[in-house]
Amino acid sequence: MSYPLTDRQVEAGAILTEALDKTGLAPGSAFWLFDADADSWKLVFASNVVESAGPRKAYATIQATLVKLGTQTQEIRLGDTVLMEPTHPLIIALRSAVRTGSGISRIRFSRNRVGSHFIDDALIYRNN
C-alpha cells in the first residue's frame, strides 16, 4: 500500500533544494522518487560533490542544512534522501526524458519507462 507524496513534503523538498544551492552542493538533479519495493518516497539529489568529495561530505551538508532550516523541512529526514553521481544511469535516463532549467520546477512524471528504468512515480524539481 503506497502513501501519497504530501504537499508539505513537496514544499519542504523545494526549500531544501534551494538551500543546498547555497551550500555548494548545488544539485543538478533533485526529485522525489517513489520506490515501490520499499513502499516509500525518497528525495534524490545528484551532485558533482558526490564524485569530488564523496557521499559522506554530501550527506553531512544535507544534514546540516536540514538542521538549519528546522521546521521548514521537518517533513524530511536524512534517511529520506538519496545521493547519486550525475553520471548514474537513472539520472542520465531521466535527463533524456525530462530537462528543466536551474530553478525549481514541480513536474510530475508517473508510470513511464526511460531506458531500462521504470519510474512508478516522481516529482521533479530540477534535472539539468
Q: What is the pLDDT of residue 16?
A: 98
Q: Is residue 1 part of a domain?
A: no
Domain count of the fold of the chain: 1
104-114: pLDDT as tens digits: 999 999 999 99
pLDDT digits (tens, 9 = 90+) for 25-80: 999 999 999 988 888 999 999 999 998 999 999 999 999 999 999 999 999 999 99
For 102, phi and psi rounded to 5 degrees? Answer: -85, -5
Predicted local confidence at residue 2, as pLDDT: 61
pLDDT value, residue 1: 45
- Whether this prediction's pTM lies above 0.85 is answered by yes
- The predicted structure's pLDDT at residue 106: 96
Domain that holds residue 93: 7-127
Question: Is the pLDDT reported for residue 101 higher than 90?
Answer: no
Asked if residue 14 is part of any domain, the answer here is yes
The Cα–Cα gap between 54 and 85 comes to: 9
Whether 110 maps to a domain, the answer reads yes
Q: Is residue 2 part of a domain?
A: no
- 75 membership: H or E segment, kind and range: none
